[in-house]
Amino acid sequence: MKPEAETRRRAAALTQLGMDLYERGRYAVALDFCEQAVALTPAFERAHRGRALCLSQLGTTEEAVACARRALALAPQSGLAYSTLGLCLHRTGRREEAEEAFYAALDLTPEDYRVYYNFACYWAEVGNEEKCRRYLALALEVAPETFAGAPPTDPDLARYSGKDWFRELLATLKTRATKY
């Protein structure tokens, strides 16, 4: 394998480890893995997105926005880069800019369930259950097989996991997923 390809593979593996830890709420350790990936491959957009998400959860919100903007500069057509920017902007209190970023993400990649899911998480953080429900339903509609095994574990959505609408939505979509 060429050295460049090996370096990129290592950066991707480090980023994946970081994001797995991020999903478990281990933001500082996840940040370390994402920073290692950026050091190996500075143009690796996904590592910058991961770094931005970790920083935003750790309260370093302006640096998180800068990382999200770097990811977007590297991949201007990435809906995930826009939705990451949206989450980071929201955590700085710039709600209007955050929503603009989310809508841009949806315009670019309406087929990516992760963009809808991130927008659902945003609405969960804002405390708007109706919109959280709407965007979570869209995420699950786009990719029901993704959520067939278990409910999402995102801490922002955890407050809804015991609610009837949440359980019913997952049950409906699990049934739909078995048809794939």
pLDDT digits (tens, 9 = 90+) for 122-175: 998 888 889 988 998 888 888 767 665 555 566 666 666 667 777 777 677 666
Lookup result for tokens 């927008």? 119
- Looking at residue 72, its pLDDT comes to 97
How does pLDDT run across 65-87, given as a tens digit for each residue? 999 999 999 999 999 999 999 99
For residue 150, what are its two tokens?
């278990």
Q: Which fold, 1-109?
A: 1.25.40
pTM of the model: 0.84
Separate counts of helices (H) and strands (E) for the chain = 10, 0
DSSP, collapsed to helix, strand or coil, labels residue 75 as coil
Q: Which of 15-19, 102-106, 163-167, 172-176 has the lowest mean pLDDT?
A: 172-176
Buried b (16+ CB within 10 A) or exposed e, 57-85: beebbeebbebbbbbbebbeebbbbbbbb
CATH 1.25.40.10 in the chain: give the residue spans.
1-109
